[in-house]
Amino acid sequence: MNEPTAPPPLQGIRVVELGNYIAGPGTAMSLGDLGAEMLKIESMEGDMARHTGHFGHAMLRAYNRSKKSIALDLRQPRGLEVAHRLIAGADVVVQNLRPGAADALGLGAEALRAAHPGLVHVSISGFPADAPSRDRPGYDIAAQAESGLMSVTGEPQGLPQKVGATIIDTASVQVATQAILAALFRRERTGRGETIRVSLLEVALNLQLANWSDYMVRGVEPMRSGDGQPLSAPAADIFRTRDGMVVISAYVQAHWVRLCETIGCPELATEARFLTNELRVANRPAMKAAVSERLAHYGTGECVELLTRNNIVVGVVRSYADALAGADFRASRMVIEAAPNGGEPGYASFGLPYELCDTPRRQTQAAPAHGAHTEELLREAGYGAAEIEALREAGVVKGANPPVPVRNLQSSFSHPAAP
């Protein structure tokens, strides 16, 4: 393969973010990983993740790499003046402030695009803009609950459960990024910007498209089924091996027959209870018991090798520690090193979940301290030393707070070197 030579796709694009937690900051950072310059406008209190303990600091590290942070009091006219001056040079504005806050400050799409027609303005909220719940705060867990996702997650006789990660916030990052890239592509051809609205509820519904498609056609309410897919078997079913657990998908009839032959019980494929996918769903406990009896004789590695050799989908159920120690994780090019930034220590993180093979991997830096680049960004915006000092004395801006110490697992595994 030739050495990567192409510049980053979004080189020269400037993104201004007014965000908290994951959805807004993550969207800006995904553009930054593609080469955009990122400015993070924070309140005088900072991104709310700065005040929510260990997981909050994890969010900061995960979704704010390589940004420049300026701390502004947007309640003061001079603070808003600074924000407008910074946005004047931007291509994209991303905000996920509380509902109505950006508009109340004059930083909503209508006001900013009237002044800057080529601007791409992105708002991320909990609920659609015209929905009765539009003024409710938007959180990942509310979208999981109200979209039906929790109702289909968990054990059949247990309570509804949330997914074990902030999946709606994270998916909203990808959805918003896709929309922004489409808008920037069109702007290259027409010069026109765009107003983009993303709601966590709509993203959560979209993530369940197959479930909803079945429900809207047949009218059958999806139910919790624990580790198995409600309408397919075996699919996402967990089986114990001699020393661990694997998940297997072999619901296509030919795959089911092959699974039975592979584990040495071809008679299961023609047993009346398991003859079709629908019968295996109806008799799932008996099907799982029959397959488990065979798989329990294999070690996990043996099981994976055997099934993979016979083209049957299998995955090892791993803890985070097990995944971290795994050879596939170690080989992943997602793992990157965020270099120290403005007094903040470096740490291990994840980059883009795909590769641009002709583009050098971008060097990345740690998430900035609150207000770490206040003076630098003010100078770039044309403010002189006396003006900056006056803004600081008036409480309109402030600089960085001391960094928060980080315990890092980076010594636990090897990182591929960035070019």
DSSP one-letter string for 119-177: -EEEEEESS-TTSTTTTS---HHHHHHHTTTGGGSS-TTS-----SS-HHHHHHHHHHH
pLDDT at 333: 87
Confidence label for 403 from pLDDT (cuts 50, 70 and 90): low
In this structure, are 36 and 108 located in the same domain? yes
pLDDT in tens, 279-312: 999 999 999 999 999 999 999 999 999 999 999 9
67 lies in the same domain as 181? yes
Give the pLDDT band (50/70/90) at residue 2: low
Section 74-103 average pLDDT:
98
325 occurs within a structural domain: no
For the chain, percent of residues with pLDDT exceeding 70: 95
Please indicate, yes or no, whether residues 252 and 387 belong to a single structural domain of this protein: no
Q: What's the CATH code of the domain at 125?
A: 3.40.50.10540
Is the pLDDT higher at 37 or at 410?
A: 37
Question: Burial, 417: exposed, middle or buried (Cβ in 10 Å; 0-12, 13-18, 19+)?
Answer: exposed
The answer to whether residues 270 and 394 belong to one domain is no
Strands 347-350 and 335-339: antiparallel
pLDDT tens digits for 260-286? 999 999 999 999 999 999 999 999 999
Residue 368 neighbours by CB under 8 Å, 6+ apart: 40, 64, 67, 68, 69, 341, 342, 344, 400
Q: Note the pLDDT of residue 362.
A: 87
Over range 345-371, report the average pLDDT: 94
Do the domain assignments include residue 144?
Answer: yes
Does residue 1 belong to any structural domain of this protein?
no
- Residue bearing tokens 């489409």: 182
Would the pLDDT of 97 be above 60? yes
CA–CA distance, 384 with 256 (Å, rounded to integer)? 72
Instruction: Give the chain's mean pLDDT.
Output: 94
Looking at residue 401, what is its pLDDT? 63
Instruction: Examine the pLDDT at 418 and tell me if it is beyond 90.
Output: no
Would residue 8 count as lying in a domain?
no
Whether 417 is in a domain gets the answer: no
Residues 15 and 39 sit within 8 Å (Cβ to Cβ): yes
Q: Is 170 within a domain?
A: yes
Report the first-to-last Cα separation within the chain, whole angstroms. 15
pLDDT score at 415: 40
Q: Answer yes or no: is pLDDT of 100 > 50.
A: yes
419: nearest Cα among 368, 364, 362? 362
Give me the residue label for tokens 């989908």: 313
In a domain, 327, yes or no: no
